[in-house]
Structure 1
């Protein structure tokens, strides 16, 4: 793939993405919407106001619009991406595009029914070598992002996170009482399993999930065996190097 960086750390570099989006037309991390549409339809209503984080040049927003979702706000920190995607979908009233950092969302409190991300948080964690020791810098980044996501959700709103990260690792990042949401997860995929986490604002964590917030990583049980090697659809190599 022509767009693979020399080093995974470049996935966190906006200049890398600006360069990539200058020529790349479309890339769908973890598959297209059709792969998990049966799950999405359970948690996202056509009339919902939706925010998509790290939209990139994915077809997801366009596919959702075609499926009848009409209130879609997209953000990405690449100005090149936003300019390109805004022009591509300028015929879609109700779809907007904004350059923005996920850690500092420029929206009022309780703005959205649904906030959706697909592999955006995965890309943030490209430098992590083990799921047991997330660096303080990355942990701070993720916490700021999740705090902003919670703030911008309406009561009863859902944060939907689509990722390759297994529950054993990812739920520990989402399970904080201060986010004021519950956590449920589902999976999809053939051969390689992907996961869809649904956090509902205003619901309490289950006792099991609440315990994750207090349990030191060194006291956790052994992790599950990795389910499969990287799928043929996702050849971006950082996905095969980290397990978060």
Structure 2
């Protein structure tokens, strides 16, 4: 891959993405639409209002549009990305592109049936070496994003999160009663499995996930236990080698 940064922390800098989007036409993290289409079709209706967080230059929105999903709002904090993608999809009525910070979404409450993110939250955590002990600033950042996602979801709306983060890491962030949603997950992909999380607004956490939240809140009162993990080896997605989750 030609656009890897010299330091993982640059994945969190808008300047890095602006530079990258000026020269890179398209890149899909966590596989392309064909890899998880069978899961998405069971959860998203063609007339749903869909918000794509951190859309980047992924082909996902265009492929979803071609598949019949016409009410797509795409946001990214890179103006370079948004300008390029808006021009590229100018022939797609109903699809909009807006520069926006996902921590402060400029939409009314209950605006969307579906909020979708594909590796966007992963990019916020790339500088973390211990996935068991996420730093307070990063936890705060993720919490702000998830609060906003919950706010703009309609009752029974679904938050879909696609990532290479396994459940024992990612559930720790998503299993929170404050967000007012249930939590489920699926896997997809050939060889290396990615994870497809589904949060449904207005449903309760399972007893197991509620117990996880309770345990995490109790553990937060005491010093975290040391834990060392190693990144999984992946043959085809070289950029993942540079990310610790």
Give the TM-score normalised by the residue count of structure 1: 0.94
For 1:226 and 1:81, locate their aligned partners in 2 and report how far apart those are by CA, in whole Å.
32
Aligned residues: 240
Judge conservation of contact 1:191–1:228 (CA < 8 Å) in 2: no
Judge conservation of contact 1:193–1:227 (CA < 8 Å) in 2: no
What SS class does the counterpart of residue 150 from structure 1 fall into? helix
Picking from 236, 239, 242, the partner of 1:236 is 239
Change (3 A) 1:128 1:228: closer
Partner of 2:3: 3
What SS class does the counterpart of residue 36 from structure 1 fall into? helix
Aligned pairs for 1:63-212 (under 5 A) are 63-212=63-212
Partner of 1:33: 33
Unaligned runs of 5+ in 1: none
Using the TM superposition, give the Cα deviation of residue 190 of structure 1 relative to its aligned residue in structure 2, in angstroms.
Answer: 1.4
Using the TM superposition, give the Cα deviation of residue 159 of structure 1 relative to its aligned residue in structure 2, in angstroms.
Answer: 0.1
Judge conservation of contact 2:46–2:69 (CA < 8 Å) in 1: yes
What SS class does the counterpart of residue 9 from structure 2 fall into? helix
RMSD of aligned Cα (Å): 2.0
For 2:205 and 2:199, locate their aligned partners in 1 and report how far apart those are by CA, in whole Å.
9
Partner of 2:50: 50
Give the TM-score normalised by the residue count of structure 2: 0.93
Using the TM superposition, give the Cα deviation of residue 231 of structure 1 relative to its aligned residue in structure 2, in angstroms.
Answer: 3.9
For 1:198 and 1:173, locate their aligned partners in 2 and report how far apart those are by CA, in whole Å.
13
Using the TM superposition, give the Cα deviation of residue 230 of structure 1 relative to its aligned residue in structure 2, in angstroms.
Answer: 1.8
Judge conservation of contact 1:192–1:229 (CA < 8 Å) in 2: no
Following TM superposition, the consecutive aligned residue runs of length 4 or more in structure 1 with deviations greater than 2 angstroms are 216-223, 225-228
CA displacement, residues 113-147 of structure 1 (integer Å, 9 cap, x when unaligned):
00000000000001111111100110000000000
For 1:174 and 1:231, locate their aligned partners in 2 and report how far apart those are by CA, in whole Å.
29
Partner of 1:215: 215
For 1:135 and 1:129, locate their aligned partners in 2 and report how far apart those are by CA, in whole Å.
10
